[in-house]
């Protein structure tokens, strides 16, 4: 497969099968597991950007939005005063 060519389904299946075999072998070390997973990810990445491949500014904006929501929710809310004798 050349650099400009998209991977075929067989290429993707082979990469997945290789990773599965490496992960299933208890004698394989952590570094080899990592390399197998990276090789599989590289095969799939040649198809194009995935849902997690967002520009960094989008990721940062999302984190800032979540931080803002957390801060808004974390502010204490005043509880309404109950009248004497009122039912709860």
| 84 domain residue, yes or no | no
Comparison of pLDDT for 27 and 87, the residue scoring more: 27
How far is 14 from 21, CA to CA, in rounded Å? 10
Please state the domain count of the chain.
1
| 82 domain residue, yes or no | no
Stretch 70-77: mean pLDDT: 54
| 59 domain residue, yes or no | yes
Per the CB < 8 A criterion, the answer to whether 46 and 9 are in contact is: no
How far is 40 from 13, CA to CA, in rounded Å? 9
| 61 domain residue, yes or no | yes
pLDDT digits (tens, 9 = 90+) for 18-67: 999 999 999 999 999 999 999 998 888 888 766 566 555 555 666 666 66
Residue 15 has a pLDDT of 93
| 26 domain residue, yes or no | yes
| 63 domain residue, yes or no | yes
Domain range for 22: 9-74
| 58 domain residue, yes or no | yes
């Amino acid at each position: 497969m050349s650099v400009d060519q998209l991977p075929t389904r067989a290429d993707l299946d082979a990469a997945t099968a290789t990773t599965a075999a490496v992960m299933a072998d208890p004698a394989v070390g952590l570094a080899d597991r990592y390399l197998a997973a990276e090789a599989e990810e590289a095969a799939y990445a040649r198809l194009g950007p995935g849902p997690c491949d967002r520009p960094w500014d989008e990721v940062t904006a999302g984190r800032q939005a979540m931080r803002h929501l957390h801060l808004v929710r974390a502010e204490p809310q005043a509880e309404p005063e109950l009248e004497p004798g009122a039912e709860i």
